[in-house]
Amino acid sequence: IKLTPNMPTDVSFAVQNINNPYFLLNYISAHLEIPLAEKQKLLEVNDFTKRATKVLAILSKEVQMQEVKMQIQKKVSTDLDKQQRDYFLTQQLKTIQEELGGNPTEQAVLELRDKARTKHWSKEIEEVFNKELVKLERMHSSSPDYSVQLNYLNFMIELPWNQYTKDNFDLHKAKEILDADHYGLEKVKERIIEYLAVLKLKGDMKSPILCLVGPPGVGKTSLGKSIAKAIGRNYIRMALGGLNDESEIRGHRKTYIGAMPGRILKSINKAKSSNPVFVLDEIDKVAGMTVNGDPSSAMLEVLDPEQNTAFHDNYLDVEYDLSRVMFLATANTLNTVQPALIDRMEVINISGYIFEEKMEIAKRHLIPKQIKEHGLKKSQITISDEVLSKVINEYTRESGVRQLEKMIAKLVRSRAVELAKEEKYSKTIKVESLQKILGLPIADHNMHLEKDTVGVVTGLAWTQVGGEILFIEASTSKGKGTLTLTGNLGDVMKESATLAYEYLKAHANLLGIDPARFEETNLHIHVPEGATPKDGPSAGVTMFTAMVSIFTNRKVNSNFAMTGEITLRGKVTAVGGIKEKILAAKRSKITDIILSEENRRDIEDITKDYLEGLT
């Protein structure tokens, strides 16, 4: 009776005052909340004990049902009480915040609206921003999506939409800045001045997308800063080495947990203008197709002048104009760069520096920089031309000046130690003290052959760090006419050797060689430095010369170096890397170089300083 809410109050009183068990049983049966059919069945049971048992079973079931109902009601009541409490506290907090100056959501929305009024974006972007702002207003500040939406809107409004720095159109001043910061690199400087000249005349044009290709340490990356300084733009650099995720370029969709914009737009945001000088460093180190997409293909949209007016970042999800950005990519080689990417860039090859250029760079830039970085004054140390010349020739072997800078830093540190110890020291660094400071010479550029030798010919090779000279050695022994190749040679180089040998056998009579000797003589071709892999067709003519020398027993002039691919018809064809190879020959004191006639165009494109002393 207590558990049943709809039971009349007089029922409890009546039950307590009925003494007759039969009457009590019938009274309880009449007030049970069961269907009439069930009550009829109870009346049909004449046996008192059986009827009482059935009534007790029904009452037990009713008690259990009422208890369950009470538990549910109690739980619902508790949940409602908590909701009412939270609502009450939220309303109180809202009232307190309004008294103190508004709630965080309203403040964030007001700040975003104020910033939006100063933006120079298009109507389409403004509509997207307002739409996203309305979404933010409808969100509760404790919602997980609130911070995601707020971060998105903050990034969107911080981007420099249509904000451009004013270019410096003083061409003479721009040239002076470029010349002061970098010695040489005339092609790059000329291209920048051309761009400024056209921009000055036209007033508006898309920025060029340049790709500087050359060995390490020639100033490709630092040139970006000089260009930005010369034309009065902001500078930003993005390192691409080891990049293997496409989302690093395009960003993630903001629906993902921890989503971020791509590094392109993050860098633009950091630059605070939409027309910075943007250096894409080491573009040849970008990975190809991976499980995370193809980052090199994602760069196609960035570096295509026809597409980057509407660059799409997955996080921002609206188009952004990159056409005014001056992209400057750097690479050591184009072999690993996607051909479609090369096609979109204006490639400028930067060769290594000759001895005279390294001397000037060291005197103008490297020595003053290291003196300043090590806390010395110019009056406290002097590095003579003789010392500098010995350091360049004997302690460095590079196309750039990075190793040279390290050696100069070591010389300056030796004086810094003596100054710090307050010891007596000589202001001028002497040639005799170089071995004590720098150790034994690590490079021998006078490595050309001291005397003419049979079967040994000097060749010229190109590597990623510049040009190198290499020796092709040939020897013969009694045998069955086999050709053996050693020296860690690649497939192309092996094919060149086989081709040269076949041509030699086919034209033995012209060279005064008895054809029968090939049947009874084994030929061994070796290229020293076996630990270094070597490949390419440019050693074809060198191998052929070594073979002719060993079979005719005629010496080869040690002052001669050669490079060129040989065909089955005996024609020597053009090869690449001519400037780097010429530099390698000059470093090794070689005076004569044999090239293909087809390479004459490369020679004419090289400045006379590089060719001085060569024939």
What is the C-alpha separation between 274 and 200, in angstroms, rounded?
Answer: 19
Predicted pLDDT of residue 348 = 83
Give the confidence band of 446 by pLDDT, cuts at 50, 70, 90: very low
Return the structure tokens found at 370: 């290291």
Q: Poorest-confidence range of 91-95, 374-378, 454-458, 596-600?
A: 91-95
CB 178 within 8 A of CB 362: no
pLDDT surpasses 60 at 80:
no
* CATH code matching the domain that covers 1-102, chosen among 3.40.50.1980, 1.20.58.1480, 3.40.309.10, 3.40.228.10: 1.20.58.1480
What's the CATH number for 453-611? Answer: 3.30.230.10
* CATH code matching the domain that covers 171-349, chosen among 3.30.420.40, 3.40.50.300, 3.40.50.10420, 3.40.50.720: 3.40.50.300
- Catalytic residue numbers read 538, 581
DSSP string covering 525-549, please?
A: EE-S-TTS-B--STTHHHHHHHHHH
pLDDT surpasses 70 at 133:
yes
Angle at 531 between CA 528 and CA 534, to 5 degrees: 70
CB 389 within 8 A of CB 363: no
Return the structure tokens found at 547: 């073979």
Give the pLDDT confidence of 244-285 residue by residue, as tens digits: 777 888 888 877 777 888 888 888 888 888 888 889 888 888
Predicted pLDDT of residue 443 = 54
Contacts of 7 (CB under 8 A, 6+ apart): 1, 31
pLDDT surpasses 80 at 103:
no
Predicted pLDDT of residue 7 = 63
CATH 1.20.58.1480 domain range(s) in the chain: 1-102
User: What's the whole-number mean pLDDT along residues 471-483?
Assistant: 89
What is the C-alpha separation between 418 and 477, in angstroms, rounded?
Answer: 61
DSSP tag of 353:
P
User: What's the whole-number mean pLDDT along residues 524-548?
Assistant: 84
Predicted pLDDT of residue 351 = 75
- CA 256 vs CA 14, 252, 259, 588: distances in Å: 69, 7, 5, 59
What is the C-alpha separation between 466 and 470, in angstroms, rounded?
Answer: 13
Q: Poorest-confidence range of 122-131, 140-149, 460-469, 561-570?
A: 460-469
User: What's the whole-number mean pLDDT along residues 70-75?
Assistant: 73
What is the C-alpha separation between 396 and 393, in angstroms, rounded?
Answer: 6
pLDDT surpasses 80 at 562:
yes
Give the pLDDT confidence of 394-412 residue by residue, as tens digits: 888 777 888 888 988 998 8
CB 461 within 8 A of CB 529: no
What is the C-alpha separation between 212 and 350, in angstroms, rounded?
Answer: 7
In the chain, the percentage of residues whose pLDDT exceeds 90 is 3
Q: CATH 1.10.8.60: does it fit domain 355-438?
A: yes
Contacts of 169 (CB under 8 A, 6+ apart): 196, 199, 200
pLDDT surpasses 80 at 367:
yes
CB 487 within 8 A of CB 605: no
Give the pLDDT confidence of 39-68 residue by residue, as tens digits: 777 777 778 788 788 878 887 887 787 777
Predicted pLDDT of residue 524 = 92
Measured in degrees and rounded to the nearest 5, phi and psi for residue 168 equal -90, 115
pLDDT surpasses 60 at 187:
yes
User: What's the whole-number mean pLDDT along residues 477-484?
Assistant: 88
What is the C-alpha separation between 323 and 164, in angstroms, rounded?
Answer: 12
AA letter at 54: K
C-alpha 255 chain-centroid distance: 25
Name the most confidently modeled range: 188-192, 194-198, 353-357, 569-573: 569-573
158: how many CB neighbours lie within 10 A of its CB? Answer: 13
Give the confidence band of 445 by pLDDT, cuts at 50, 70, 90: very low
CB 345 within 8 A of CB 337: no
User: What's the whole-number mean pLDDT along residues 495-518?
Assistant: 88
